[in-house]
Chain A
Amino acid sequence: MAELLIKNGVVFDPINGVKGEKMDICIRDGKIVESLHDEHSAKVIDASGCVVMPGGVDAHAHIAGGKVNAGRLLRPEDGRRGLEPKRGVCKPCTGYSVPNTWATGYRYAKMGYTFVMEPAMPPLTARHTHEELVDTPIIDKAALPLIDNNWMTLQYVRDENYEMLSAYVAWMIRATRGYGIKIVNPGGTEAWGFAKNCGLDDPVPHWDVTPADIIRALAHANERYEMPHSIHVHGNMLGHPGNYETTLRTFDVVKGISASMQRQTMHTTHIQFFCYGGTSWKDFESKADEIAKYVNENEHITIDLGSIILGDTTTMTADGPMEYTLYRLTGRKWTNHDVELETGAGIVPFLYSSRNPVHSVQWTIGLELALLLKNPWKVVLSTDHPNAGPFIGYPILISMLMSKKRRDEVMKEVHPAVFDRSSLASIDRELDFHEIAIITRASAAKILGLHNHGKGHLGVGADADVAIYGISHEESDAGAVQRAFLNAKYTIKRGEIVVKDGEIVATPEGRTFYVEPECEESLMNEVMKDIERMFKEYYTVSLSNYPVQDVYTPHPYVIRAPMSG
């Protein structure tokens, strides 16, 4: 079938040890191949003077589902900021921090990204997440179901019944067509059902467990199967001054638990929000160095940055109590949506201002972390879109990580508190293209376990997801880097050219990846009895109407997760 040849590009393929080599990439039938059958009839892209990387992999961006849509609904004014009329193959686009599904797919593709993980899917509303993912063009995607504040999880953790917990987790991941286990403010979001919250070692009201117990138990449950990904954790006390201590204790909670695959035991997400020192907003300071020190010295943790993009954005998380605090602090409009027996959500618009000392210091932290962490394989570039900023800000972050000069320029424009409350000014390190290729695709692929499924690399057999950036591998100008990464010269998705010269030229549908953990039948039958009781006594939908039906994953990619040996 269709063959494509990318010639003369300088390739960065970290998973396969390619660090800026001039080489050709051969593609046939949507996959990378060793060589072409017929060079003369193949389509050729001349990538001279360009940097070539695998398609970007985003491990954490809120792009689909109930709270994302509630965010769009909440902010018609954000919609007006990103208006693009329909053009060519593109449908109309709206939104800046909460783009519509068409804009989401197009804008990621234009940045050379080809896989995005929706990180927080309430199980009861999983159908909604899947519907939006299906309507997000071009990119492949997956979603992580929230399983940490669920009443059955809390019950099994309280009873220390880890066998049943692992069966419940398997059932949940299958019923929701999810990719793994998401944890957000464990215990705290359940407490929010009555407007309360709790810290890492506090007992959850009405349940005799602590958030630490929940995290530990779910880590064990996850590792009972050959899950491609570890537990994915948004811990307690997000956004509170002084929370870095909780973060370090949270890291320790799973220390000693072995992963069932060659990977981390816990991925802690948008860690920037958890690196805060001080006791109040007045003496607020960055503790990125403490967090980086721990992660440098330990192998069981990976992070994604959650780095701030200055300007207006929309915060949205399952951390209901945190969002309420933000609403009380800012007085801005606030949507809350607690989901029975399972989780919650809060949405508040937010402006990160360069004139504000706290926001400015927050802004330094994401960058500090990326530069202080010695091993880029432990790091994924993210903005917790849209919480710290919209994903189209990634090129801004890339340009700053590659250029001390650019960082210094921006630091002069923000509040001077950044010089005393953060160590960013003293960091000279500049990431190179190889390291950028790691943190924007290769590391995420490994952390998510997708490298075994064709993502994040350009080895033979990988999906032909390729990003060609119109920039020399010797370029050092931050502005040129930023422009090049915002609008790729070419983006190829499964062998099809979807972006050319920064414009969308094709809009194929992507696939939805999900995992099927394989639990023993007898255990599953046991847990079903408890599940049936939950539905009968507490849920307001019938069990038979709960699981996500086939029709919601029209282009599925299924990963089996047998029980670990």
Chain B
Amino acid sequence: MRQIVFKLRDGALRSGAAEVPVDVSPLTPDKLFGEGEDEIKSTKVWWGNRQENVERIFEVSVSGDASSAEEVKVVFEGELRKVKRIGYEMSAGEIVAEGSVGMHCGARMRGGRITVNGSADCWAGCEMHGGTLIIEGDAGDNLCACYRGETTGMTGGTVVVKGNAGECIAQYMAGGEITVRGNADMLAGLDMKGGKIVIEGDAVMPGANMSGGEIIVKGKVIDMMPSFKYEETVTIDGEEYKKYRGDFAIGEKKAKGTLLIRS
């Protein structure tokens, strides 16, 4: 396995009184696979409105070999909250972030695995197509959702958030599976058309405008949608759930979403 460690230098992102974010989208296992140490160290990254050598911002250490991108592991260390686009469009390999990360972590990823040992800022897993994303802490708003104007969001992959999730997660979801161990803020599964979301804590107005897919809420539902229809009570893994069909606000023909709320 080839391991590439990027450790953010102290104060590297400071500009006057500001901390300017850095965009690390070029630093994925598949993009760095096959590159020598010098090449890796001179990769350009955008820091604000100028491009810099990655070495100016991160201490870089490289070890081991890989015969494919699958065997490459990229590790981010240091204060990562202003590090954006970790794992962006990643297709293979592994990324581990030792700390809470900036926006767009794992956005548009197609394969491979990302583990965030902390929380993830907004738009994590946005428009995800495949792969695995594990967030040990909380996720921000728009987890696994889509960028402005799109009408298809996540289409595949597996995401686990061990803490809470923000607003509008999985908007326009079409496939894949998301588990939130904590609570989800308002409008989880907005405009959902496929796929599965499990919220082990509470949810606010889940499933608005759903036309397909399944949302399971094990905690409480706050502000239940007035346009969902109770169908029956079912048993899943020995527990009772009330099953609802929705969202009738979009009309009966299209309302093929399923919302299961634990009794």
A74-91 to B contact mask, C-beta < 8 Å, 1/0: 111111100000000000
Closest to A333 in B: B151
Interface residues contributed by chain B, number (CB under 8 Å): 6
CB-defined contacts of B149 to chain A, threshold 8 Å = 74-79
Which 7 residue pairs of A and B lie closest in terms of their CB atoms, listed nearest first?
Answer: A77-B149, A76-B149, A76-B148, A77-B150, A75-B149, A80-B147, A77-B147
Most buried by A among B148, B149, B150: B149
Closest to A80 in B: B147
Mostly, the B contact residues are loop
B49-82 to A contact mask, C-beta < 8 Å, 1/0: 0000000000000000000000000000000000
Closest to B254 in A: A331
Bound Cα distance A75, B149 (Å): 6
Bound Cα distance A78, B148 (Å): 10
Query: Would you list which residues of chain A between 58 and 74 have a CB under 8 Å from chain B?
Result: 74
15 contacts between A and B (CB under 8 A): A74-B149, A75-B149, A76-B147, A76-B148, A76-B149, A77-B147, A77-B148, A77-B149, A77-B150, A78-B149, A79-B149, A80-B147, A331-B254, A332-B151, A333-B151
Bound Cα distance A199, B254 (Å): 32
Bound Cα distance A37, B147 (Å): 58
**Taking the nearest CB of chain A, how far is it from the CB of B94, in angstroms?**
28
Bound Cα distance A75, B151 (Å): 11
Q: Supply 4 further A-B pairs (C-beta < 8 A) apart from A75-B149, A77-B149, A80-B147.
A: A74-B149, A76-B147, A77-B150, A333-B151
Closest to A77 in B: B149
Closest to B148 in A: A76
B126-144 to A contact mask, C-beta < 8 Å, 1/0: 0000000000000000000
Bound Cα distance A105, B151 (Å): 29
Contacts between chains A and B (CB distance < 8 A), count: 15
CB-defined contacts of A76 to chain B, threshold 8 Å = 147-149
Chain A residues engaging chain B, CB cutoff 8 angstroms: 74-80, 331-333
Bound Cα distance A331, B250 (Å): 10
CB-defined contacts of A332 to chain B, threshold 8 Å = 151
Bound Cα distance A75, B148 (Å): 8
**Taking the nearest CB of chain B, how far is it from the CB of A397, in angstroms?**
28
**Taking the nearest CB of chain A, how far is it from the CB of B228, in angstroms?**
20
CB-defined contacts of A74 to chain B, threshold 8 Å = 149
Closest to A73 in B: B149
CB-defined contacts of A333 to chain B, threshold 8 Å = 151
Query: Would you list which residues of chain B between 143 and 169 have a CB under 8 Å from chain A?
Result: 147-151
Closest to A75 in B: B149
Bound Cα distance A49, B148 (Å): 47
Most buried by B among A78, A331, A332: A331
Bound Cα distance A198, B195 (Å): 44
CB-defined contacts of B147 to chain A, threshold 8 Å = 76-77, 80
Query: Would you list which residues of chain B between 171 and 197 have a CB under 8 Å from chain A?
Result: none
B235-261 to A contact mask, C-beta < 8 Å, 1/0: 000000000000000000010000000
Bound Cα distance A78, B147 (Å): 11
Closest to B211 in A: A331
CB-defined contacts of B151 to chain A, threshold 8 Å = 332-333
Bound Cα distance A77, B254 (Å): 24
Bound Cα distance A80, B151 (Å): 14
**Taking the nearest CB of chain A, how far is it from the CB of B133, in angstroms?**
22
Bound Cα distance A76, B148 (Å): 6
**Taking the nearest CB of chain B, how far is it from the CB of A311, in angstroms?**
16
Bound Cα distance A331, B151 (Å): 11
Closest to B251 in A: A331
Bound Cα distance A79, B148 (Å): 10
CB-defined contacts of A80 to chain B, threshold 8 Å = 147
